[in-house]
Structure 1
Amino acid sequence: MNNGQPDPGLYEYNAYRNRPKIEWPDGKTVAVWVSPNLEYYELDPPENPIRKSWKTPAPDVTGYSHRDYANRVGHWRMAEVMEQYGFKGSVSLSVALCQHIPEVVEHANELGWEFFSHGIYNTRYSYGMSEEQERTIIEDSIKTVKNATGQDIKGWLAPALTHTPRTLDLIAEYGLTYTCDLYHDDQPMPVSVKSGKLISMPYSLEVNDHYGFFIYNMSPREYADTLIRQYERLAAEGENSGTVMCIPLHSYLIGQPHRIGPFAEVLRYIKEDGRAWITQSGDIADHYLANYSHLAGAKNDY
């Protein structure tokens, strides 16, 4: 007997092999987007009763300083390589970065990168939040990014991938059009929410550099090979119906001197292959909503 939360019915089952065809611009078979996580971690964050921010008691100097490498060094190295091969970032942003280290946000904005919210701090979790608290975070994200960059955010990735049962309904209510918090498919899918129009944007845990280096213990060369194999399969399957490949990055990892070279080779490979729509998450969402939001038997009145 299940006494937990009922299935929220966020999306309906739709077998991969029997779907109507999705077509990307210019006959491309796979939409490829790169998602740098530009984050801010607190050395001694407020305690969440459900989950600890750091492995060791505060101050966790090792954990904090490792991540601080991202904004001091890693971001700049990663961005240089991305620009070299024509990949514009879709930034999963800890919006507090706009105040703490505005130089990084300003640089990404000058490059034409897109921003969506990853919460305020990556050391503050949604677990146990009231609706009022969650609304405050969403409103703060919208306002802060607008003031810092001039952009209206379209998407959401929950801080440290933590949620409440109301998260997706709330972001749709505030006019956001995509969530990166569902990892269930290689194509966009409508999400059933109380109001607004929301789709799931294929993000990735499997080829996320955090999983590659921390969970799967890959070498830089193994991670690069994994990205190419991911790309090859999705590009081939996309001939039947367009697929999406996301490359989620953390520059304190991929921006290390010993890792950046193999990653640069991946970007060159994808660029030269010719089957990729090298794009940004907002453009994928706009294209899908304009042409395919009726697919997958969504409960929304699209």
Structure 2
Amino acid sequence: MKPDLELYDYWPYEGRPKIRWPNGAKIAFWVAPNIEFYELNPPLNPKRKAWPRPNPDVLLASSRDYGNRAGHWRMMDVMDKYNVKGSVSLSIGLIDHHPELIEEAKARDWEFFSHGIYNTRYSYEMDESQERAILEDSLESVMKATGQRLAGYLAPALTHTEKTMGLLAEYGFLYTCDLFQDDTPQPINVPSGRLISMPYSLEINDIIVYNSYLNTPRRYGQMIKDQFDQLLIEGEQCGTVMCIPLHAYAVGHPHRIKGFEEALEYITSHSKEEVWVATGREIAEYYYTHHYDACLTNIQTRKGVEL
């Protein structure tokens, strides 16, 4: 393993090309519901256990299942109320297990991007042929089920190999959500083709907020508002991106949904000149068309690369 995979270059805020989103918006905002499937007894991975308790871990498996059976519908109702389309971080196997969820998201014209086959199948120790098979299966299965060509990727449980990013570019993916180094998209260093990192979030990811930070629903909602306010201010100088990553088995509980709703109400109350409510695909496509070349040139110039 290399000490540094050199996936992206150091690129400080000062002196970057100015990004502007449609209608002159200062911030591009998107919501990424993770619709996942967790196997009760998956194949063993040499580096990570799927469940912390002995098999069968019925307690945690059923708590994950809550999201697909109950929490998802609450979450979706709130997003419908404020006319926010989701970009679904999809466990591809869920297409077979719960096609009803796919149909509901498809009816709302939500985007789908790949989150691996199952969130209990990790990329650690995969060889290149195995990783290629997963990407090919993802592309084929989502196209067949939804008619969409995948644009984005979030690795299952955020697990990778040294070749992941290069393979994404080779297969024509537009963006990865697996890097957390910035608040704007950034060109990624890949052997061939193009790929950008799309700002996702760990800080306002509902799982992190509830399970790691142990925050309350109201505090979660306020964190989202604070994140938005700061990125809106900074967006005056250079357009920013904000994502709310969601998990229906977390945010979809009755006592938690109101905090999310209050945050969504606040964000969508802003004008189109302030915030562009979009999908991950829309943000990526706009960035490639209007800003990618200038940003890449700026990065290379700072590195002293002769153009």
TM-score, scaled relative to structure 1: 0.96
The list of structure 1 runs, each at least 4 consecutive aligned residues, that deviate by more than 6 angstroms after superposition, is: none
CA deviation string 1:35-61 (max 9, x = no partner): 000000001111111100000111100
Query: Which shows bigger deviation, 289-298 or 181-190?
Result: 289-298
Partner of 2:289: 290
User: SS state of the match for residue 184, structure 1?
Assistant: coil
Out of 241, 244, 247, the position equivalent to 2:241 is 244
**Which among 116, 119, 141 is matched to residue 144 of structure 1?**
141
- Whole-Å separation in 1 of the counterparts to 2:174 and 2:142: 16
Q: Equivalent residue for 2:34?
A: 37
Question: In the alignment, is residue 77 of structure 1 matched against residue 74 of structure 2?
Answer: yes
Shift of 1:273: 2.0
Aligned counterparts of 2:66 and 2:207: Cα–Cα separation in 1? 15
Counting only pairs closer than 5 Å after superposition, residues 158-237 of structure 1 correspond to structure 2 as: 158-237=155-234
Q: Name the counterpart of 2:280.
A: 281
- SS at the partner of 1:122? coil
- Tell me which residue corresponds to 2:119: 122
Q: How many residues align?
A: 299
2:260 is matched with: 263
Question: In structure 1, which of residues 140, 151, 155 is the aligned counterpart of residue 152 of structure 2?
Answer: 155
Aligned-residue sequence identity (percent) comes to 54
Deviations 1:191-245 (A, max 9, x none): 1111111000001001100100000000000000000000000011101110000
Using the size of structure 2 for normalisation, the TM-score is 0.95
**Whole-Å Cα distance in 2 between the matches of residues 8 and 164 of structure 1?**
10
* In structure 2, C-alpha distance between the alignment counterparts of 1:229 and 1:120, rounded to whole Å: 34
Q: 1:17: Cα distance to partner?
A: 2.4
CA distance in structure 2 between the aligned counterparts of 1:203 and 1:180, rounded to whole angstroms: 6
Classify the secondary structure of the residue corresponding to 2:32: strand
Unpaired segments ≥5 residues, structure 2? none
Aligned alpha-carbon RMSD (Å): 1.5
User: Could you tell me how far 1:261 is from its partner in structure 2?
Assistant: 1.1
Query: Residues of 1 paired with 2:217 and 2:14: CA distance?
Result: 33
Deviates more, 1:13-22 or 1:87-96: 13-22
1:19 deviates by 1.0
1:27 Cα deviation from its structure 2 partner: 1.4
Amino acid at match of 1:120: I
Using the alignment, how far apart are the partners of 2:82 and 2:287 within structure 1?
25
Question: Offset at 1:165?
Answer: 0.3
| Alpha-carbon distance between aligned partners in 2 of 1:18 and 1:27, rounded to the nearest angstrom | 19
Structure 1 segments unaligned to the other structure (5+ residues): none
Show the counterpart of 1:23: 20
1:109 maps onto 2:111 in alignment: no
Distance in 2 of aligned mates of 1:33 and 1:59: 36
- 2:193 and 2:152 map into 1 onto residues whose CA distance is 13
Could you report, residue by residue, the CA deviation over 1:113-168 in whole angstroms, capped at 9, with x for unpaired residues? 00000000000000000100000000000001011111000010000000000000
CA distance in 2, matches of 1:256, 1:6: 41
Question: 1:20 offset after TM fit, Å?
Answer: 1.4
Partners of 1:276 and 1:62 in 2: CA distance = 40
